[in-house]
Every structure is written in C-alpha cells, then in structure tokens.
Amino acid sequence: MKNLKSNKFVVRLLMLPMLMFSHALWAQVQSPVIPKPQEIAFKQTYFNLSNGSAIQIRHVVGQKAAYYLQTEILKHTGVTLEIKKNAVTNIIYVQASSKELKGNSYQLLMSANQITVKAADEEGFFLGTVTLLQLVRNTPVIDQKLKLACWDVSDKPLYGWRGFMLDESRHFFGKEKVKDILDWMAFYKLNKFHWHLTDQPGWRIEIRKYPRLTLVGGIGNYSDPLAPAQYYTQEDIKEIVRYAAERYIEVIPEIDMPGHATAANMAYPQFSGGGSEKYPEFTFNPANDATYQYLTDILKEVNVLFPSQKIHIGADEVHFGNQHWHKDVYVQKLVKEKGFKDLKEVEHYFLNRMADTLLKMDNEILAWDEVVGSSLPIEKTTVFWWRHDKKDELKKSLEKGFKTVLCPRLPLYFDFVQNEKHSIGRKWAGGYVPIESVYNFPTEDILNYPNAGKLIQGIQANLWTEAVSTEQHLEYMLFPRITALAESAWTQPQHKDYSDYQGRLKKHLSIYAKEGLYYYDPFNPEKYNEFLGPVQRSQMMPGTDELTKQEMNNK
Ligand code: TNX
C-alpha cells in the first residue's frame, strides 16, 4: 500500500514538468481581442469552423447579429454557414436574452462543439458576435476551415460614447471610404460616428431648400479651391445612416455655426456675418432674423435625415473671424438693443436661438467646449472638450453639470502625427500623438474631477483633414491608433496593460496587411513612410496655423 502511494507520488512528480510545460504552452495562447474584454479565459480546446458548421437562432432577438456574423464570416473566410432553427452539433448558437446580463453586456462561451453568444439585447448580441469575428479574423483559414481557439468571455463597455469624428469639409472621401471606416469602427466596438460635414472649404450635405449650398458651397477643398463640387446627396446620407445602424453605430452630423461658415457664405452671401482678414466670410450673421430662418430650415432637413436626434452645431473658434461684427450695422444695433457687453454675448445669444430650434425638434444640442460659458440648457447639451491646454474648461463643464465627451487635441486629434519624425500633419508646441498616449488616456487626474464619473459620456478621436488628402493618408493616420482609442473607450482602466495590448496589436497589423491598408507600424516605423498619394504638402494651400516655419524648413 505504502509502495503504491509512493509510486503514484513518483509518477506525479515525473508528470509535473510536463504539466508545467503544457500549461506554459497554453499560457502562450494570447487572446487577440481588441478592445480587451473585462474577462477572457482560454478553454484549452478548439472549435473547428467549416462549411459544415451552422448558426442556430431560436428567437427574433439575436437574428440581426446572426445575419451579420454569417455575412462577415463569408466575406473574410469564404466559409458558408447555414442559419438553422435546430442544429445539434458544431454550431454557433446566438441565444436569446439572458436574465443575469444587462444593457450592452454579453457573454461568449466556446467549447469544442458549440459556441454560444448570450446577451440581454440586440446590441449586446452584436457586440458578442464582433468578439467572435475578431477571433475568426485572427485565425488562419486553410481550405475553408478554421481551428478556432476557444475562450470564455464576459464583457461590457466602460463608456456609452465611443466615438470617431471625420472632417469631410477639408477633404472629401466619399461613401465607400466612409462605409469602410464604419466597418472598422464596428470591428472595434466604436459606436458614434461624428460627421463634420460643413466648414471653410466645402459644404458637403445636400439641403433641398438651398441647393447652392452644395452646388456652389461644395466646390473646392483644402488642397484645391477649384476642385469640382463634392458632397453627399440626401439619398447618400440615408444609405450611410442605414449602413451605420446595421452596425449599431449612431451618426451625428455637425453643421458648424456661427463660425467656420465660409463655404455656406459663398453660396448664400446674404446670411454672412463677415469675417476677418485671415478668415474672410467666416461667420453667419447673428443679428439678422432671416439667418435664423435659414439655419432652422437647414436643421429641419438635417433632423429628418439623422435618427440620432442629436445635432452638433460646432460653436468653435468664433473669435477667429467675427471681427466684422464690430462694424456690422445689424450686429451693432443688436448689441445696443440688448445691452451686450462684448461679442461673446452676441455669440451666446446666437447659440440660445439655435438651441430653441433644436429643442423644438426634440434634438439634443452638441457643441465644442467654447459653449461652457453659455447658458445652453444643461440637461439637453453635451460638451465636447477639445482644448487639452484648457483643463479648466473641462472642470467648468463638469461643475455646471454638462454631459461631456472627452476629445482633447492631445492625445485624441488624429490629424497630429504619431511619430516625432513625421511632418505631414500637426504638431503643437512640439506635441504629437503617439499610440501610447492614446492608450494611456484618460489620465487619472481627469477621472478624479468632481462629477467626472457621472457626466463623462466617453471619449472620441477627431480626424481633421487639412493635411489629409488621400485615402491612404487617412488610413495612415487612423491605423493603428483606432485600436488604442477603442481600448481606452471600452476597457476598465484596471484591465488595461500596454505591453499586453502591444502583443494583441501585432496580430491586428497582420490583418491590416492582409486587407491592403496603408497603416503606420509602430514596431517598424520605417516600413511605410508618410509621403504618399498624389497630393504632397508642397502642393497644398498654405495652412492656417498648422504648418510652422520649422516644419516648412524641414521639408
Ligand atoms: C481646431 S477642434 C478646429 C478645427 C481644426 C483643428 C485642426 C475644433 C473644434 N476646431 O477646425 O481642423 O483644430 O487640428
């Protein structure tokens, strides 16, 4: 008996290194999922995905996610999966709601013969299937077969606002590129697409009542003031909004006012409030009743096109070009009548009138952080904090009780270069936006501001496109920083780990290579350089404040 026991002991002892070795092997299997889920554990087994597998759905909830999964798997692997009500084995089971899960949380449970997605609502199913798709796209496909490593995942988002903004006024990229961006946003669980459609160089959204806005205002871009008109028709907009909705992305249009209105003023000069020497025709006229009627008509058409019931009205940098207001007879009459002390008060008057329009249409008001000092209705307004050098504005926004989205220039403006040596794009007082700084945002000091927990809706990266004129360059600025943005918006700070993320990132770079994206490789900065596409800096119009003398000399 004693012998037997000690024999067993010896056997165990001998097995120990083997066990340890195999454990080490398993441990090396790193999850490729970005953003990192709250909990994820390797199951030490594999699911064979092939044409013989099926997707099973029994209820209406989960159906949309199942179809999306089917299409995406076919698109990226060539594997065709039948959708069935009943199936026994080798199935992906998109199961109806689970009581213990709330809101957008989901579970993905994988075993050798069944994969189950559990969620409480449609969006949760979608998010769960996206995680599965990330696993699929990180697995080699051999003869239309994939050996999927199995994981148990339990997950939910940190923030409800996980945004990306694209400026299509400075350069226009068009429907196909926008859809492509929406696909990638969905892949990284980003859910708000802020669409900057109007600004100085071009007005990009068709307004039926005012056709000149696009026919005239759509002419030109930042590199070429005479480029033929480029814009989205209302049918195009509907198509994009639908495409985004299929991916649980809400589209928020921005119609910038009262500044950045140059393109609109080219089309309808009667509503211009003039500008300054540097920024001619920059503003709408805030003292002309006809301006309010005109802008209300525009916003009514915009409202119908965007089911988000949120319109961003800009309100940034009005002081850049409101100098003419000092001389404008209408504005000066208004100033006297109302007893305004300065032009800032005129600006606030304008904003309040536009807010009335939005509230009547049951829209929320979204605006850049210049509105923090205004009297816009607290409950209905969301402030976008962008001036990283003005932390007091963020504090004030939170103190006053505004819902707030964090998108500080450093580190969330993706028009800033991501490598010190790069020069096409912005650098600000020596500052640029390396991927690590995106990953490390938001910093603790911000999260500890009073009301931060209650009022911060989430984070957003903004891609302004003065210096971005080609699709390739757009990709270069967006990839791979989009992954750091996603993880900062989704993953609880205590679960973030930069070196672990870098391991996962490498796998995603392989996906970009496969898809032919022109991305920046932070592990191999020389791999693709930044000088690309037909429009080079030398051909661009002189910038406003983005090209410093130093940068010009470096060229
Ligand atoms: C500031 S952010 C702007 C944009 C520019 C951007 C360039 C903001 C509200 N206004 O008009 O494109 O800087 O980085």
pLDDT, residue 552, reads: 33
Place 430 in a pLDDT band, splitting at 50, 70 and 90: confident
Question: For residue 553, what are its two tokens?
Answer: 């000399």
* CA of 328 relative to ligand 1 center, distance in Å: 26
Closest residue CA from atom 7 of ligand 1: 464
312 within domain boundaries: yes
> Does residue 466 contact residue 415 with C-beta atoms inside 8 Å?
yes
- Mutate which of 169, 316, 382, 462 for ligand 1? The one with the most ligand atoms within 8 Å of its CB, which is 316
6 within domain boundaries: no
pLDDT, residue 470, reads: 94
For 220, phi and psi rounded to 5 degrees? 90, 160
Distance CA 90, CA 102 (A): 28
Domain-terminating residue out of 155, 187, 217: 155
| 415 ligand 1 Cβ < 6 A | yes
* CA of 194 relative to ligand 1 center, distance in Å: 14
Burial string for 153-182 (b: 16+ CB within 10 Å, else e) reads: bbbbbbbebbbbbbbbbbbbbeeeebebbb
41 within domain boundaries: yes
pLDDT, residue 544, reads: 36
Domain-terminating residue out of 110, 137, 155: 155
Say yes or no to pLDDT of 538 above 70: no
pLDDT, residue 261, reads: 98
pLDDT digits (tens, 9 = 90+) for 313-327: 999 999 999 999 999
Ligand 1 nearest-atom number relative to CA 368: 9
139 and 244 together in one domain = no
Work out the angle between the directed axes of helices 481-490 and 498-515 (0-180°, nearest 10).
130
pLDDT, residue 548, reads: 38
Place 74 in a pLDDT band, splitting at 50, 70 and 90: very high
* CA of 465 relative to ligand 1 center, distance in Å: 9
| 410 ligand 1 Cβ < 6 A | no
* CA of 205 relative to ligand 1 center, distance in Å: 19
21 within domain boundaries: no
171 and 230 together in one domain = yes
> At 378, is the secondary structure helix, strand, or coil?
helix
| 464 ligand 1 Cβ < 6 A | yes
278 within domain boundaries: yes
For 155, phi and psi rounded to 5 degrees? -150, 150
The whole domain housing 143 covers: 30-155
Residue 114: in which H helix or E strand, if any?
strand 114-119
| 316 ligand 1 Cβ < 6 A | yes
13 within domain boundaries: no
* CA of 261 relative to ligand 1 center, distance in Å: 14
pLDDT, residue 28, reads: 64
Say yes or no to pLDDT of 475 above 90: yes
205: CB partners within 8 A, 6+ apart: 197, 198, 213, 214, 231, 232, 234, 237, 253, 255, 302
131 and 192 together in one domain = no
| Cα 62 versus chain centre, distance | 25
Comparing 24 with 174, the larger pLDDT belongs to: 174
| 368 ligand 1 Cβ < 6 A | yes
Ligand 1 nearest-atom number relative to CA 170: 12
Looking at the DSSP assignment, which residues form a beta bridge with residue 345? none
Say yes or no to pLDDT of 9 above 60: no
| 317 ligand 1 Cβ < 6 A | yes
pLDDT, residue 518, reads: 94
pLDDT, residue 88, reads: 76
Closest residue CA from atom 4 of ligand 1: 464
* CA of 384 relative to ligand 1 center, distance in Å: 12
Place 527 in a pLDDT band, splitting at 50, 70 and 90: confident
Q: With pLDDT > 90 as the criterion, what percentage of the chain qualifies?
A: 84
Average pLDDT over residues 102-116: 94
Residues 471-475: contacts with CB under 8 Å, at least 24 apart: 471/173, 471/177, 471/533, 472/518, 472/532, 472/533, 473/424, 473/518, 473/530, 473/532, 473/533, 474/173, 474/177, 475/517, 475/518, 475/519
Query: In this predicted structure, which of 230-244, 518-532, 539-553 has the lowest mean pLDDT?
Result: 539-553
Closest residue CA from atom 5 of ligand 1: 464
pLDDT, residue 94, reads: 83
Number of domains, the chain: 2
Place 60 in a pLDDT band, splitting at 50, 70 and 90: confident
Tell the residue number behind the tokens 């000066």, with chain if given. Answer: 332
Q: What does the CA dihedral 329, 330, 332, 334 come to, rounded to 10 degrees?
A: 160
Distance CA 421, CA 435 (A): 14
Which is nearest to 178 in space by CA: 166, 192, 191, 190? 166
CATH number reported for the structural domain that contains residue 77 in this entry: 3.30.379.10
Residues 305-309: contacts with CB under 8 Å, at least 24 apart: 305/234, 305/237, 305/238, 305/241, 305/253, 306/237, 306/241, 306/251, 306/252, 306/253, 307/241, 307/245, 308/250, 308/251, 308/252, 309/361, 309/362, 309/363, 309/364
385 and 506 together in one domain = yes
Say yes or no to pLDDT of 555 above 50: no
65 and 182 together in one domain = no
519 and 547 together in one domain = yes
* CA of 387 relative to ligand 1 center, distance in Å: 10
Tell the residue number behind the tokens 């945002």, with chain if given. Answer: 441
184 and 205 together in one domain = yes
Other C-beta atoms lying within 10 Å of the C-beta of residue 511: 17
Say yes or no to pLDDT of 55 above 80: yes
Task: Provide the pairing of β-strand 364-368 with 403-406.
Answer: unpaired
* CA of 289 relative to ligand 1 center, distance in Å: 28
Q: What is the mean pLDDT of the chain?
A: 91
* CA of 198 relative to ligand 1 center, distance in Å: 12
14: CB partners within 8 A, 6+ apart: none
pLDDT digits (tens, 9 = 90+) for 371-415: 999 999 999 999 999 999 999 999 999 999 999 999 999 999 999
pLDDT, residue 528, reads: 84
Task: Provide the pairing of β-strand 192-196 with 161-167.
Answer: parallel
> Does residue 384 contact residue 460 with C-beta atoms inside 8 Å?
yes
pLDDT, residue 99, reads: 77
219 and 352 together in one domain = yes
Say yes or no to pLDDT of 21 above 70: no
Domain-terminating residue out of 92, 127, 155: 155
CATH number reported for the structural domain that contains residue 366 in this entry: 3.20.20.80
501 and 405 together in one domain = yes
Place 11 in a pLDDT band, splitting at 50, 70 and 90: low
* CA of 415 relative to ligand 1 center, distance in Å: 9
pLDDT, residue 542, reads: 37
* CA of 543 relative to ligand 1 center, distance in Å: 12
271 and 381 together in one domain = yes
Strands of 26-88, DSSP E = 39-49, 54-56, 82-84
Place 96 in a pLDDT band, splitting at 50, 70 and 90: low
| 432 ligand 1 Cβ < 6 A | no
Say yes or no to pLDDT of 26 above 70: no
Ligand 1 nearest-atom number relative to CA 199: 11
Q: With pLDDT > 70 as the criterion, what percentage of the chain qualifies?
A: 90
143 and 174 together in one domain = no
- Mutate which of 460, 464, 465 for ligand 1? The one with the most ligand atoms within 8 Å of its CB, which is 464
15 within domain boundaries: no
166 and 146 together in one domain = no
| 222 ligand 1 Cβ < 6 A | no
For 323, phi and psi rounded to 5 degrees? -60, -30
DSSP string, 20-37: HHHHHHHHH-----SSPP
Ligand 1 nearest-atom number relative to CA 260: 11
| 194 ligand 1 Cβ < 6 A | no
